[in-house]
Each structure stands twice: as structure tokens, then as C-alpha cells.
Amino acid sequence: MENNCIFCKIANGEIPAATLYEDKEFRVILDLGPASKGHALILPKKHAENLFELPDETAGKAMILAKKIAGILKEGLKADGVNVVQNNGEAAGQTVMHFHLHLIPRYENDTVQVTWKPGTLTDEEKNEILGLF
């Protein structure tokens, strides 16, 4: 557990949160500032700052858990879709530096914004990126 990490404290039960699911490795809670009805967060109990620090095994289990919880939320709340969002770094909108997956149920005509303006893929950038792999 990391000192002064709010999600470590919530995940490990030191600070109460509305818990939808818990096992040895994860706690799933309702977001305090929901983007939509049912907005939930999947928190690993063991601290990792972001996706790059997360052990592979935990990363795999987190996505399987996302599938399960998102399905229950979608069906139970009669949502029309679900966004699975995961921010890494301040520039990407991460505000709590403990890895978490957002599950955001979506409803026809809601006003949630998880969008961007499409840009242009130039040949130069494409070749630069393809060269990384």
C-alpha cells in the first residue's frame, strides 16, 4: 500500500466506498463524481501507478472483471452501451495516481463526452510509428 494514496485506502477498506464487487485482488466501487448512472471504477488492491506499472496478470484479470461488471451494469440499468476508459498520466486526464479502469454506462442521447476530433494520419507520422515495432 502506498502512503497517502486514496485508492489504496479505498481498495483495502480503510476508507468506505460503495462497493459493487470485491475479491482478494480487486475492489469495484461507484465513482463519487459519476459521468453517468452506474459509473464504476475497478481498483486493484495492490498499488500500481498506471498501466505500465501493472503486473501482466493483474492487467489481464482487470479486463476480465471489466467484462463481467460492465455486463451486469448494462443489463441491470438498461444502458445502451458502455465505455471502458483508462487514463495514464496527467496529460491523459489521470487525476488519481493509482491504476483504475472506468466503466461508464452510456444511454442514447446522454451528454457524456468521451470523444475527440478526428485528425489526419500523415505518411511521415505513420512511418515513424510503424518504425517503432
Active site residues: 100
Q: How far is the CB of 93 from ligand 5GP (least distance, A)?
A: 5
Which does residue 31 touch among ligand 5GP, Zn ion, none (CB within 5 to 8 A, set by kind)?
Answer: ligand 5GP
Q: Which residue number is nearest to ligand 5GP in terms of Cβ? A: 33
Which does residue 29 touch among Zn ion, ligand 5GP, none (CB within 5 to 8 A, set by kind)?
Answer: ligand 5GP
Cβ density class 26-51: b for 16+ within 10 Å, e for less: bbbbebeeebbebbbbbbbbbbbbbe
**CA pair distance 28, 10, nearest whole angstrom:** 10
47, amino acid identity: H
Q: Which residues of this chain interact with Zn ion, rule CB under 5 A?
A: 2, 5, 7-8, 47, 98
